[in-house]
Amino acid sequence: MNPVVLITGGSRGIGAAVVTRAAAAGWNVCLTYRGDEATAHDLVARARAAGVDALAVRADVAVEADVEAAFAAADAMGPLAGVVANAGVVVPKARVDTMTAQRVADVLAVNVVGAVVTCREAVRRLSTAHRGAGGSIVLVSSAAARLGAPGEYVDYAASKAAVDTLGTGLAKEVAGEGVRVNVVRPGIIDTDIHASGGQPDRVARIGPAVPVGRAGTADEVAAAVTWLLSDEASYCTGSVLDIAGGR
Ligand code: NAP
C-alpha cells in the first residue's frame, strides 16, 4: 500500500506542486484547501491519473476541528507517513505602527496556531510513542523569518520565525520517536500569494533583485519538500533549508 501524505493548503501554489511531485513519487495524497474547491478537485483528478489515491478536504487550518477532520480523512486512505504544514497567508503591506491586533491575530491563527495543531495531529499518528510507525513532517516557513520584511509585513515575518522555532523544537522532541521534522524557507516564489496580499507585481518587482536574478518556482520548493519527506533524507531532522536564490 502506498504511504499517505497530508498537505495543508495543497490546492494551489507551493502546496499544489508538492502534491504533483508526491503523487509522481507514489504517495497517496490528502490535500486541504480553504475555499477554491474546483482547483482542488482538478488537482485530485490529476494526481489520480498519476496512479495514486488522492482526496481534497476543505479545511481552514485556523479552525482546530477542521484540521482534525482533515487528518481523519487522511487516516481512511491508509497509514500516514508524511505531513506538510504548508498553508499560510500574507497580509496587505503595512508598517507595525499601523497594525491592528485583529490583523496580527488573524495571521498568527493560520501561520502559527494552524501549524502547531497540524504538527500535533501529525505526531499523534506518526510517533512511536503513540504507536505510530514514524514519518516525516515538513514545515513551510519563509525567508521573511530572517529578513524581517520591514515596511511590508513584519507580523507575517514574525509568524514564520515562530514556524522555524516550532520545527527546531519539535524535531528534538520527537527525534527518538521515529519522526523527522524539517523546515523549508522559500524566498520569493511565483504564486498567487502576492496578489492575495495586495501586491500582484511583487514577483516582477523583487525577482530581478534576487542574487540569482529571478523569483523561484513552486516546483523548485516542492523538490526540496518531497526530498525531505523521503527516506533519502533519513539523517536530516531539525534542519532549516533556505530555497531563496541566495537572497
Ligand atoms: P498560495 O499560492 O496563495 O496558495 C495557498 C494555499 O493555501 C491554497 O491551497 C489555499 O487554499 C490554502 N490556504 C490559504 N489559507 C488557508 C487556510 N487558512 N487554511 C487552509 N488552507 C489555506 O500560497 P503559496 O505561495 O503557495 O504559499 C504556500 C506557503 O509558502 C505559505 O505558508 C507561504 O507563507 C509560504 N511562502 C510563500 C512564498 C512565496 O513567495 N510564494 C515565500 C515564502 C513562503 P484555496 O485555494 O482554497 O484558497
Q: Please name the residue whose Cα sits nearest to atom 21 of ligand 1.
A: 9
How high is the pLDDT of residue 247?
Answer: 96
- pLDDT (0 to 100) of residue 13: 98
How many residues belong to the chain? Answer: 247
Q: What distance in Å separates the CA atoms of residue 230 and residue 25, rounded to the nearest whole number?
A: 9
**Residue 14, pLDDT above cutoff 90:** yes
For ligand 1, atom 7, which residue shows the shortest CA distance?
Answer: 9
Residue whose Cα lies nearest atom 20 of ligand 1: it is 60
- How many separate domains does the chain show? 1
Give the residue-averaged pLDDT of 160-173: 98
For residue 57, the model assigns a pLDDT of: 98
Specify the CATH number for the domain of residue 195.
3.40.50.720
Distance 41 CA to ligand 1 centre (A): 17
Going from the Cα of 208 to the center of ligand 1, the distance in angstroms, rounded, reads 23
CA of 212 to the centre of ligand 1 (A): 24
pLDDT in tens, 175-189: 999 999 999 999 999
Per-residue model confidence (pLDDT) at position 33: 98
What is the residue range of 209's domain? 4-243
Instruction: Evaluate if residue 95 carries a pLDDT over 90.
Output: yes
- Cα separation, 2 vs 30, in Å, equals 12
- In tens, the pLDDT along 235-244 reads 999 999 999 9
Residue 86 CA to ligand 1 center (angstroms) comes to: 7
Q: Which atom of ligand 1 is nearest to 88's Cα? A: 32
Residue 42 banded pLDDT, cuts 50, 70, 90: very high
Q: Residues 46-71: pLDDT tens digits?
A: 999 999 999 999 999 999 999 999 99
pLDDT digit string, tens, across residues 18-37: 999 999 999 999 999 999 99
Quickly count: other Cβ atoms within 10 Å of residue 87's Cβ.
25
* Angstrom distance (rounded) from CA 140 to CA 216: 15
Beta pairing, strands 4-7 & 28-33: parallel
In the prediction, which pLDDT does 209 show? 96
Alpha carbon nearest to ligand 1 atom 36, residue: 142
Q: Is 156 a catalytic residue?
A: yes
Mean of per-residue pLDDT scores for the chain:
98
Cα–Cα dist 110/113, whole Å: 6
Among candidate residues 1, 66, 57, 53, the one with its CA nearest the CA of residue 22: 53
Which residues form ligand 1's pocket by a CB distance below 6 Å?
Answer: 8-15, 32-36, 39, 59-62, 86-89, 110, 140, 142, 186, 188-189, 191-193, 196
pLDDT for 188-200, tens place per residue?
Answer: 999 999 999 999 9
The predicted pLDDT at position 41 comes to: 97
Q: What is the mean pLDDT of residues 148-169?
A: 98
Q: Which atom of ligand 1 is nearest to the CA of 156?
A: 34
**Cα dihedral 232, 234, 236, 238 sign:** positive
The pLDDT confidence band at residue 1, using thresholds 50, 70 and 90, is confident
